[in-house]
Structure 1
Amino acid sequence: MASPLKQLEATGTVVIADTADFGDIARFQPSEGTTNPTLLFLAAQLPAYAALVDKALDYARSLPATASAASRLSAAVDALAVQFGTQIYKLTGRVSTEADVALSFDTPATVAAALRILELYAAEGVPRDRVRIKISATWEGIEAARILQRDHGVSCLVTVVFGLAQAVAAAEAGADAVAPYVGRIADWGKLNQPNQPSSDSEQQQDLGVQTVSRIQNHLRKYGYRTQVMAASFRNVQQVRQLAGVDLLTAAPAILEAVERETEPITAVLTADAARAASDAELPPLAFNGNEAAFRWALNGDACAVEKSADAMRRFFADTEKLKELLATKL
């Protein structure tokens, strides 16, 4: 009998290890890896990765003497992400790397940052088509993804997605993938919707599972090519209830827990079921480039508004901590 992770993959889900630890990546043999400021900050403190940190610092030191201290530190962060990403690429064949979250409301700056990251990858011998650029699901970020995908052939993963409006706008922009945060949505549901189930019985779904299921089914029903990368899992039950989602990225502890499962894992989300859903079950939603319509739809989703802002603030804080760490060595 196939292992639980192989059973999950048999449902059509591509499994990704949400870690910057090369040992964990090698152990789970995912087909893609990812980095973000939080993972980089944690990994950069470990002696095992000192050589990668040194390479990033050497790159920052090589910038022209006219470069400011702030731009040097930003360059060091990007270079470190690429150093980790290059090793992850060698283990998996594809890597996702985040553009500076501080640029989430600046379309041209996000495009420029993404292209700089790709130049760094090219210098390391990583092909452009093996890199995804992660961009926040703001209107400006989604527009940056549109430009990068359309004009530069850059694969974009629109991240910090907490609601359908963000996913649909990103899909309309042609983003290759969106990353809704299952666990964080579920956390918000427990605090703000008291009637949400508190147990993990198979008959019940938390708000995170409900939201991500709706996003996946909507994109499949209405024919978008954008894939859904479910992220931020809290427990194995969420993984089970989203079996069949396009992509699934989870921390090693969650993947280890999945491997200990004894009951079979079967597909819950299927393309056929999504296409068969009625318009009443999955009402159409479209923005067609209308910024005001997007912002109003997003404004109506309290979870998406609150948790998107919170996620960006957290990533920014971890980026600043990483800069402080690098500054002591630069």
Structure 2
Amino acid sequence: MASYARRFVKAGVRLVGGCCGTTPAHIRAMKEAVVAARPAARPPRLDAPRDESVELNTPERGAKSVLGQRLAERAFPVCVQIRSPKGCDPRPTLEHVRELHEAGVDLVSVFEGRGGARMSAFALAQIIQREVGTETLLEIASRHRTLLRMQATVLGAHALGLHNLVAVTGPPLTLGEYPDATKDFEVDSIGLSNMIRRLNEGRDVAGQSIGTPTAIHLGVHLDPFAVDTEYEVRRFEWKVDAGAEYALTPPVVDAKALVEFLPRIAHCRIPILATIPLIGRFRDVERLRQFGAGRAPQALLDRMMRAEREGREREEGLAIAVETARALREHVEGLQVVAQTARLSDVPPIVEAV
């Protein structure tokens, strides 16, 4: 059974199991056989029937958002990621955003994260745009959501003026005492991108007219440091084919590694926003190191270790961020800076550096 399961997965099957007589031992053997296998290359798409009476009228990038306009003009936009506050008072966060805006930041990306009762990212993004006037960027995850729910979310985001959306699959959530059990999802980030592209064309998931098309500026993730870079490039090709207009990277502290990866996506290149972390402690680098040596080279570890001994970790972390931003200035189309709330005052030097 295990050998057949592996052959099925290699042929493109996405779900394998057993019938009567299958025991936990069989399932365990099948899992071990397919865990390293990759399904046959087959980009997931939403193959709904098309209403040929619908006239395609997809908005141009520059007309969708400030970020779209900045990328169209090759103006090197800078985005800063902020975390939703605990509780229901957005005023301290709004003050931080005002300071970032005055420092020359073009937009802020909002995420909820974990830890306590935090305000909805969608709600905070709307408040920021209304109260401060700074444009926002949001992630929309496909995991744990139905197609109809995601479609409603995208339509609502457009109506609220939240036009910069990044399609992600989202992390799995374990259920109770069964860490191997996860909720399913109808499509991954590629299928979600296909859906958003359809809405931008004026069609719903069934191919029927929605009237006025949405104007979502669609982003995706790109991981240059993935363990299986061949698979990552293939998925990125599918994302671009699905309608992706720009991509964000994970935290980059090794500019050389990112620059060396970029030729591999030259045939499907879209604007790249490199994520620059503001490192505050040596253990922040160790955490990045866990994701792969390409993200945190040994030289960086040694550098932050010396800074820790000398009590100047914050200054060294800022210097590394500025150096990385300058090194990437001619290779990517923009930046996203990730910083703890207490470090937002360190963002202006990075903006000035690019």
More strand by share: 2
Q: Greater Rg, structure 1 or structure 2?
A: 2
Q: Which has the higher helix share?
A: 1
Q: Which structure has more RCO (C-alpha within 8 Å, separation ≥ 6)? A: 1
The TM-score range, normalised by the shorter chain, is 0.3 to 0.5
**TM-score scaled by structure 2?**
0.43
